[in-house]
Amino acid sequence: MSLNTAFSSELDSRIDQLKADRVYKQLNYLDSPQSARVQMEGRGEILILSSNNYLGLCDEPSVIDAGIRGLRRFGAGTASVRFICGTFTIHRDLEEAIARFVGTESSLTFVAAWNANEALTSTILQEGDFVVSDALNHASIIDSIRLAKAIVKCTSAVYKHGDLDDLVSKLEQATGAKRRLIWTDGVFSMEGAIAKLPDLIDIARRYDAVLAVDDSHSTGVLGETGRGTAEHFGMLGEVDIITSTLGKALGGAAGGSSRDRRVCATCSRNARGRSSSRMPSHRRLLRAPSRRSSSWRNTQGAWRSSGKTRGISGTPSPRPVSNRWPVRRRSYPSSLGKRRSRSR
């Protein structure tokens, strides 16, 4: 039985328009582990320059073996949410390890970083509260704020990217709010910019605000031991709330970490989209910090040099994360289509 005819026809028109605009996304199918080079269906061996596998842990044998041991001991899952059927001891171990890793008091795992961000705002804010967001924050933060406005009726504002004077102006306009939340990316994945964390922390303290940092593109690569934006600035333990992912540099599920255990306790009981997965990659990173150093060297050296030979010049970046490399091409190939919307 077919779908509603008018509905199906409308979807066909939308898809046709995306194809005409050359922005229709098609999946590429891999027949090998994610790595620097992969086997791609219909294309053979391909060099991957767009992956978030910054440290090469996706196919690290010790990580794979640990995952297999976890499956053999605990099975594929709890077959329900954690509060109904229980949660595994390794979930607790993982959350404790994440908190230690990023210098927070407690942490809570979600099925993805998107879910961690999406759930946070409406869980910790209430009617009469205020949230302000950097204009170039990730789409998951934008959706989080939209949901919070619909669910808890908080108010919101957007400040110009990296413009702290504009941020202060927005906060001063919200002096009547009961609670103020500042949202920012740690590293802005499309621009390569690092948030001005010391200034943001100072502003948050001056205006009695809570600072939330999405460190998804910082974890594993920024800071001396890969602990992210806070370590990069020597401010571990000074950020109110950190959300991040184990699915980029570390490879599999997301963790939302907080300096205050009360935030995690609140999210544990009220946030939607929660789940857990055992990912031992953070241990591998701590045992082998040279992976982070190699990532920096590769980005600052060989990748930039090879880019120049292909007519691509990279904008200088203070980070090794180059999956969305800002480029200037001598000629922009029409085969690449139009620029796509912001996304991880």
CA distance 337 to 300: 28
Query: Residue 177 — pLDDT band, cuts 50, 70, 90?
Result: very high
Q: Which residue has the higher pLDDT, 83 or 227?
A: 227
Residues 118 and 20 in one domain: no
Query: Encoding tokens for residue 324?
Result: 């969305």
Residues 6+ apart with CB under 8 A from 134: 158, 159, 161, 162, 183, 184, 185, 188, 195
Q: Which of 237, 262, 286 is the last residue of a domain?
A: 286
Q: What is the pLDDT of residues 99-140, one digit of tens each?
A: 988 888 899 888 888 989 999 999 999 999 999 999 999 999
Residues 105 and 177 in one domain: yes
- Report yes or no on 334 lying in a domain: no
CA distance 88 to 74: 8
- Report yes or no on 293 lying in a domain: no
Q: What is the pLDDT of residues 180-205, one digit of tens each?
A: 999 999 999 888 899 999 999 999 99
Residues 6+ apart with CB under 8 A from 107: 95, 96, 98, 99, 255, 256, 257, 258, 264
Query: Encoding tokens for residue 208?
Result: 């009695």
- Confidence check: pLDDT of 282 > 60: no
- Report yes or no on 133 lying in a domain: yes
- Report yes or no on 291 lying in a domain: no
Alpha-carbon torsion 134, 268, 210, 212, what sign?
A: negative
Residues 235 and 169 in one domain: yes
Residues 35 and 92 in one domain: no
Q: Tell me which amino acid residue 85 is.
A: C
Q: What is the pLDDT of residues 31-44, one digit of tens each?
A: 999 898 999 999 99
- Report yes or no on 260 lying in a domain: yes
**Catalytic residues, which ones?**
189, 217, 248
- Confidence check: pLDDT of 254 > 80: no
- Report yes or no on 326 lying in a domain: no
Domain that holds residue 43: 16-48
Residues 30 and 68 in one domain: no
- Confidence check: pLDDT of 318 > 80: no
Q: What is the pLDDT of residues 256-265, one digit of tens each?
A: 767 778 888 8
Tell me what pLDDT residue 52 has. 84
Q: Are 115 and 274 in contact (CB under 8 A)?
A: yes
At which residue do the structure tokens 């999946």 appear? 27
**Which of these, 250, 254, 248, 222, lies nearest to 236 by C-alpha position?**
222
The residue-averaged pLDDT of 252-276 equals 74
